[in-house]
Amino acid sequence: MYAGDRRIDLVVRPGARRLLPDAAIARTAARALDAGEAPQGSSIALVLSDDAELAELNEAHMGHGGPTDVLSFPMLPPEAFPPRPGAPRRGRVPVIERDARTGRVHLGDIAVSVDRAIDQAEAGRGGQTGDVRWSAADALRLLVTHGCLHICGWDHAEPVEEAAMRALERELLRA
């Protein structure tokens, strides 16, 4: 599906609850990609799944046991995006190659556990501070936003980076 000039390949695994219409999820992703200054005419794959799949991916790719809420697998290095507040200095900007057939840049893949979004909302652990009470749909919007910002080179490993990323997430979720 398309949101503006962004292609969002949304995959909803069997059994994953639908908390938002597909178009709303695509708009959320496109807004975050715009804010992350992703190249125009780009695409992502966004998989909505469950704790079991996210636990497998977390173990295979991150070396951590158990489920997590969102995993991002960027195809471009952080240097492909404009600098962010608090981010370390970057090297040379790489040449971004577009698919010869589609003209698009595939930015990467994101996997979200809908189970985690529901559990975090029900437990009152929503938002970045873990103390916001909101709907499971809002929790899902945050995880999609968070994953897209990671695709665009944003991180939260250092306090300054985390503060900037969290502020941008709050701004995007108010939209």
Across all residues in the chain, what is the average pLDDT? 89
From 3.40.630.20, 3.30.70.1150, 3.90.420.10, 3.40.390.30, which CATH number describes the 2-84+100-174 domain? Answer: 3.40.390.30
pLDDT for 90 equals 66
pLDDT for 174 equals 87
Average pLDDT over residues 27-47: 95
Among 7-16, 46-55, 65-74, 77-86, the range scoring the smallest mean pLDDT is 77-86
> Under DSSP, is residue 42 helix (H, G, I), strand (E, B) or coil?
strand
Average pLDDT over residues 93-112: 87
Query: Which pLDDT band, with edges at 50, 70 and 90, does 122 fall under?
Result: confident
Domain ranges in the chain are 2-84+100-174
Query: Which pLDDT band, with edges at 50, 70 and 90, does 149 fall under?
Result: very high
pLDDT for 93 equals 66
Tell me: pLDDT of 6 over 60.
yes
- The answer to whether 47 and 11 have CB atoms below 8 angstroms apart is yes
* Residue 139, C-beta contacts closer than 8 angstroms, at least 6 positions apart: 117, 118, 120, 121, 126
pLDDT for 92 equals 64
> Under DSSP, is residue 168 helix (H, G, I), strand (E, B) or coil?
helix
Shortest CA distance to 119 belongs to which of 11, 19, 14? Answer: 19
Shortest CA distance to 116 belongs to which of 139, 146, 149, 150? Answer: 139
